[in-house]
């Protein structure tokens, strides 16, 4: 799904997402992948404004973000259940305890409307550190579904070799890589080519299918966060969004979508992952685990550990 949110309008974005889920299902989809931070949008002001200028925008985003679980998640679950589709969607998630703390999260919902899990982006990329805090290893998970063993990473995480390997080693066969359109990157950085390289590499190395879903930028988003001619020119730069589906040989199965909103469809068969593994099975016979081992800490990280002493100590006799 290459689409733009209704920028910072949570209810309208959820309504749009539910409509797109139904549309994709009518088109035959059993898995629908949405962009990174789709609900309710990406903090482009981090790239076009100073931190001081962008601070009120951060508060707007926080107020428009969602709780997980919460009513917006319930709407998405109901849409997935009604459509009979698995749904993977990026959201801005509020921390349940610390007001002002946000995560860049990816929801995994099955075709019966169950929330399988939530992945929180491990390391916000570059200017994103002004908005999001990092998640932990507890969300590096792969889920058994009727469309395959499903995993996913958000945007720049698909550059992280160890994060990708951790999913492959859990038996991932279908990978969702969700991105945002990044026209504000340096002039010599081509977002379309950068996405293609990463998706092709993960598919070829793991012998799996990769589904890339990237957001689009609308004139409404440009109007919202462009504060001068220079920032407007950055936001309107073309060749900033790419969505497509890759096979186990690292090649595209589809005509890609570049910049424009739309839906890319492909039929996949996870049995196509078998024969290529005879050549390179990097999580099996084509590796040396006596030489290389990856250790992943999947323990949820706690900010507070309370040690209680039990019964209170007796008061001194002279008090």
Considering only the top CATH level, what class is 10-279? alpha beta
pLDDT, position 307: 86
Tokens (6 digits) for 7: 């920028």
pLDDT, position 173: 98
Rg (CA), the chain: 21
The ranges assigned to domains in the chain are 10-279
85 is catalytic: no
The answer to whether the CB of 61 falls within 8 A of the CB of 131 is yes
pLDDT under 70 in the chain at which residues?
310-319
Q: Which of 18, 85, 155, 214 is the catalytic position?
A: 155
Report residue 204 CA to chain centroid gap: 20
Tokens (6 digits) for 189: 């950085």
pLDDT, position 316: 63
Looking up tokens 């081992």 gives 293
pLDDT, position 227: 87
Q: Which of 18, 85, 93, 121 is the catalytic position?
A: 121
Tokens (6 digits) for 139: 């969300």
**Could you give the CA distance from residue 197 to residue 12 in angstroms, rounded to a whole number?**
33
pLDDT, position 308: 82
Q: How does strand 209-214 pair with strand 174-179?
A: parallel
pLDDT, position 103: 98
pLDDT, position 150: 98
**Could you give the CA distance from residue 26 to residue 301 in angstroms, rounded to a whole number?**
41
**Could you give the CA distance from residue 116 to residue 101 in angstroms, rounded to a whole number?**
23
Residue 271: other Cβ atoms inside 10 A = 8
15 is catalytic: no
121 is catalytic: yes
Q: Which of 18, 36, 85, 93 is the catalytic position?
A: 36
């Amino acid at each position: 799904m290459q689409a733009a949110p209704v920028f910072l309008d949570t209810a309208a974005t959820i309504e749009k997402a539910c409509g797109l889920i139904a549309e994709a299902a009518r088109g035959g989809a059993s898995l629908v992948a949405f962009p990174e931070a789709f609900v309710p949008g990406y903090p482009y002001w981090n790239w076009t404004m100073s931190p001081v200028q962008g601070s009120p925008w951060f508060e707007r985003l926080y107020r428009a973000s969602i709780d997980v679980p919460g009513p917006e998640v319930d709407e998405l679950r109901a849409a997935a259940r009604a459509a009979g589709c698995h749904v993977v969607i990026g959201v801005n998630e509020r921390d349940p305890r610390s007001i002002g703390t946000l995560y860049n999260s990816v929801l995994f919902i099955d075709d019966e409307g169950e929330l399988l899990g939530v992945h929180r982006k491990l390391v916000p990329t570059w200017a994103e550190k002004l908005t999001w805090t990092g998640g932990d290893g507890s969300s590096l998970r792969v889920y058994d579904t009727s469309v395959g063993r499903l995993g996913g990473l958000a945007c720049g995480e698909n550059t992280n070799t160890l994060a990708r390997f951790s999913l492959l080693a859990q038996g991932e066969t279908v990978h969702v890589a969700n991105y945002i359109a990044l026209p504000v990157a340096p002039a010599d950085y081509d977002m379309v080519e950068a996405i293609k390289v990463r998706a092709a590499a993960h598919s070829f190395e793991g012998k799996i299918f990769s589904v890339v879903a990237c957001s689009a930028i609308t004139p409404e988003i440009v109007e919202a966060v462009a504060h001068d001619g220079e920032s407007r020119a950055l936001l309107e730069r073309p060749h900033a969004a790419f969505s497509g589906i890759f096979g186990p040989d690292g090649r595209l199965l589809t005509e890609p979508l570049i910049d424009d909103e739309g839906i890319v469809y492909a039929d996949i068969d996870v049995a196509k992952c078998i024969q290529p593994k005879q050549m390179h099975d990097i999580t099996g016979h084509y590796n040396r685990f006596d030489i290389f081992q990856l250790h992943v800490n999947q323990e949820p990280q706690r900010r507070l550990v309370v040690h209680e002493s039990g019964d209170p100590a007796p008061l001194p006799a002279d008090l």
